Amino acid sequence: MKCCIAALSVWIGLTATCLAGPVNPEVISGTALMAGHIDVDAALNSEMGETIFNEIHQKFPHFKSQLAGFSQIFGFNPLSDVHGLTIYSNHLKDKRGVLVADCNVDQEKLLTLLKMNPSFQDRQYGDYQIAEWTDSKDGVTDETHYGCFFDASTAVMSDNLEDLKGAIDVLAGTTESLRESKALPTFRQASKSAILSAAMQLPDAWESADPGARMLQNVVSVTARLAESDSTVKMGIALKTSDPDDAGYLRDILTGLVAAGEMLKRHDDLQWMQELVESQTVSGDSNLARLEVVVSNGRLMQMIDRVKKQQDTKKD
């Protein structure tokens, strides 16, 4: 049973850490209301990623040998054979979604491990084989999971069978993908050269919203991104509205927040903010309000190291 649980964990971990580098809009449904992507290749090759892994190697000297053992058992190296993650959902109210992965893995070995789960079964969907299994923990049955290796380098997973079938149709090109549709237009732009990007299409009207929040009622999408370049970390958020006036009001609000932040940085107790934040920029067009904060990577690492030393001193 432990092997079954381990196999399930590997499948979930696999699909939660991989899609080959930058986001590919052809793997996302054209009717997606939410999408997110992590470029693991970019994260691991970033200055911050290298610093984190150097720290891991120092604290856990057996990390490399344990990683080698993992690779031998499960048929892939999570640091070199997995490249990113894309998740999307066509349903904002329900806890439903799809994970799509593009990885170099031993598919037969993973399927063999999954088949050790007593609940495992497979079913045919056109030319594709769908795996189905249920995980249980402490005697409590969990949700049923569905997965499919679409081709030699693409895996897809969902907790909803119909969502998985829809994802296969998108990959096969029989239904519209995000590349052909007009859904989440700011997501495609935000995901370029980003380590992390996410976007959500909001309802046309928030009936339950307070009448005083009219501006927010007219926000049709929210996008966030995290990127690293030129030894800096760039964090951004963008709000797209249906009313140009509301976009202007939101830019004014963001400008006010930036000004308030600049005032706070002058306080002695918040000197670290002045050292850390290099710039805060508000921009946008007729229907867009955008805020980007640029943080010094080197100073961020120094601050983390300083906090860590302070914690170590308190322990002593």
Distance, CA of 263 to CA of 274 (rounded, Å): 10
- Let me know the angle formed at the C-alpha of 190 by 186 and 196, rounded to the nearest 5 degrees: 130
Residues 29 and 125 in one domain: yes
What the block records as the tokens of 17 is 């850490």
Residues 136 and 34 in one domain: yes
Distance, CA of 38 to CA of 114 (rounded, Å): 26
Looking at residue 316, its pLDDT comes to: 58
Residues 165 and 229 in one domain: no
Nearest to 289 by CA among 246, 256, 225, 258: 246
| Contact by Cβ (8 Å): 61, 79 | no
Distance, CA of 316 to CA of 309 (rounded, Å): 11
Total tally of structural domains belonging to the chain: 2
Residue type for position 280 = Q
| φ, ψ dihedrals at 36, nearest 5° | -145, 155
The torsion of the CA quartet 211, 212, 214, 220, rounded to 10 degrees, works out to -90
Residues 309 and 175 in one domain: no
> What CATH number does the domain containing 245 carry?
3.30.565
In terms of DSSP H, where are the helices of 121-223? 161-172, 185-190, 214-217
Distance, CA of 201 to CA of 197 (rounded, Å): 14
Low-confidence ranges of the chain (pLDDT < 70): 1-21, 137-141, 203-216, 268-274, 312, 314-316
pLDDT (tens digit per residue) in 27-85: 999 999 999 998 888 888 888 788 778 778 778 888 888 888 888 888 888 888 878 78
Residues 55 and 100 in one domain: yes
| Contact by Cβ (8 Å): 91, 33 | yes
Residue 152 lies in a domain: yes
Looking at residue 315, its pLDDT comes to: 63
Looking at residue 137, its pLDDT comes to: 67
Residues 137 and 25 in one domain: yes
User: What secondary structure does DSSP assign to 235-268, as a single string?
Assistant: EEEEEEESSHHHHHHHHHHHHHHHHHHHHHTTSG
Q: Whole-model pTM?
A: 0.80
- Let me know the angle formed at the C-alpha of 283 by 279 and 287, rounded to the nearest 5 degrees: 155
Residue 189 lies in a domain: no
